Amino acid sequence: MSLAHNLSASISSSSSTFLVQTNFNSRTRNVSMKAKSIGICKCIATPQELQTAYKTKVSRNANMAKLQAGYLFPEIARRRSAHLLKYPDAQVISLGIGDTTEPIPEVITAAMAKRSHALSTLEGYSGYGAEQGEKLLRSAIASTYYGNLDIEEDDIFVSDGAKCDISRLQVVFGSNVTMAVQDPSYPAYVDSSVIMGQTGLFQKDVEKFGNIEYMRCTPENGFFPDLSTVSRTDVIFFCSPNNPTGAAATRSQLTKLVQFAKDNGSIIVYDSAYAMYMSDDNPRSIFEIPGAKEVAIETSSFSKYAGFTGVRLGWTVVPKQLLFSDGFPVAKDFNRIVSTCFNGASNISQAGGLACLSQEGLKAMQEVVGFYKENTDIIVETFDSLGFKVYGGRNAPYVWVHFPGQSSWDVFSEILEKTHVVTTPGSGFGPGGEGFVRVSAFGHRENILEACRRFKELYK
């Protein structure tokens, strides 16, 4: 395969999000130049070595070659861009990627603005901060979300988002661990595992990577895996409320998960990024389960609570009680990775995080979350009325719609082609997502209503 072909494939699979149609028109000018007498013109072939791009002697990371196509969400963006080229006048509504749309509450942006302006004064300027996060924010996170759970401020590491911390945790674990994921699940867990070299090759016949334990989560098992059939792994990634299914694990289920981890000597990486969307009386944190501090890490984020998807602020809790097999604290290794690979979250975003956790900020975040939950209700009611089996929605800003016997990507394409609405194909979250489509509730109300009108027109 030629280098040009490789480059083209690379761009189309992962970078085309950034390629847009240009409206640039070159202007021609008539320029008079005195002709120069020219004799015989000879065509000389360029030597082959000059046509070939220079290559270094550095081998590519073989694990990168295992990854399949582009990361899910850039691939969706690529298809959206192609659709717009085909239908330039279409009013496309994006209910695919889980990006927030509503403004950040003013009580929060005012705090960030104040901190930003202070940086232009001698008294208010600050440079590098603690890589683990500012003490006041760590303390506020501990008291707000873990007040009765014996989690202390120095167990908390403030970061630029849960997704970033997932990769840093993978660096801590290294390449010699085995891992399990819910199926379906957020694709960053699997892709980061592949990049670290924890997996085998992709097995096209079953749509799985070798050496990963896929814990199937279906409507039949209440979207909680049958742990009696799950093989022992070193690390278990678990998200509740779940992205993409929207299912939330009960206290009884999480008690079983913690006991399963203890019996196997495993570590749970618990993603609680949607805990604030919980409507049921289910645990918001894994640390509500007795014994979890000995086997679990928890990561979370302000992204979907306060609209911080662009501001970037999250945190990870690594309890002191969590130890490797040799007795060394996991928190000490994570602290070393954070100190080596990260310079700490922006001081401006941390000011916003502190405002989020004020009494007024918490109220404002609850109102934003409530708005998206109303969007979710509208989407659920729409698909219910059309006779679809619908899951999620109650405890998460995602609606998981079943299209039995159909390819997720085919359904995605049909919806985009006929309604100009972007969704997310369930198979992008793992083989267990085949036959489902995820519809995000993040959107302006008028867009949610219009998208639902189009769904009704398509499936009436």
pLDDT band at 414 (very low <50, low <70, confident <90, very high): very high
Q: Which residues does 134 contact at the CB level (< 8 Å), separation at least 6?
A: 158, 347, 350, 354
pLDDT digits (tens, 9 = 90+) for 417-449: 999 999 999 999 999 999 999 999 999 999 999
pLDDT digits (tens, 9 = 90+) for 273-317: 999 999 999 999 999 999 999 999 999 999 999 999 999 999 999
Please give the average per-residue pLDDT across 391-411, as a whole number: 97
Looking at the chain, the whole-number percentage of residues with pLDDT higher than 70 is 89
Distance in Å from the first CA to the final CA of the chain: 47
Which string of DSSP letters, residue by residue, matches 109-178?
HHHHHHHHHHTTSTTT---S--TT--HHHHHHHHHHHSTTTT--GGGEEEES-HHHHHHHHHHHH-TT--
Structural element, H or E, at residue 290: none
Question: CA angle 238-244-246, nearest 5°?
Answer: 85
- Return the higher-pLDDT residue of 20 and 401: 401
List strands edge to edge, sheet with 296-301.
156-159, 314-317, 296-301, 267-271, 235-239, 179-183, 212-216
Provide the token pair at 236. Answer: 């278990």
Distance CA 31, CA 70 (A): 46
pLDDT at 297: 98
Distance CA 301, CA 318 (A): 15
Quote the mean pLDDT of the chain: 91
Distance CA 91, CA 197 (A): 42
Question: CA angle 152-158-162, nearest 5°?
Answer: 115
pLDDT at 68: 83
pLDDT at 18: 33
Q: Lowest-pLDDT range, 13-17, 97-101, 198-202, 346-350?
A: 13-17
Distance CA 250, CA 256 (A): 10
Provide the token pair at 37. Answer: 């007498």
pLDDT band at 97 (very low <50, low <70, confident <90, very high): confident
Range 106-357: architecture per CATH: 3-Layer(aba) Sandwich (3.40)
Q: What is the CATH number of domain 72-103+361-459?
A: 3.90.1150.10
Please give the average per-residue pLDDT across 249-272, as a whole number: 98
Provide the token pair at 247. Answer: 């299912």
Name the 3-class secondary structure at 97. coil
Q: Lowest-pLDDT range, 16-20, 176-180, 391-395?
A: 16-20
pLDDT at 24 > cutoff 60 = no
Where does residue 362 rank: exposed (0-12), middle (13-18), buried (19+ CB within 10 A)? middle
pLDDT at 407 > cutoff 70 = yes
Q: Which residues does 215 contact at the CB level (< 8 Å), separation at least 6?
A: 180, 181, 182, 183, 225, 227, 230, 236
Angle between helices 445-459 and 359-385 in degrees, nearest 10: 10
pLDDT at 150: 96
Residue 280 · residue 293 · CB < 8 Å: no
List strands edge to edge, sheet with 436-440.
390-392, 398-402, 436-440, 424-425
pLDDT band at 459 (very low <50, low <70, confident <90, very high): very high
Which pairing describes strands 202-203 and 208-209: parallel, antiparallel, or unpaired?
antiparallel
Sign of the dihedral defined by the CA atoms of residues 12, 17, 18, 24, in that order: positive
pLDDT at 12: 37
Provide the token pair at 393. Answer: 């929605």
pLDDT at 8: 41
| Residue 308 backbone dihedrals phi, psi, to 5 degrees | -95, 25
Domain positions in the chain are 72-103+361-459, 106-357
pLDDT at 10 > cutoff 90 = no
pLDDT at 45: 55
Please determine whether the domains at 72-103+361-459 and 106-357 fall in the same fold group of CATH. no
pLDDT at 44 > cutoff 70 = no
pLDDT band at 72 (very low <50, low <70, confident <90, very high): confident
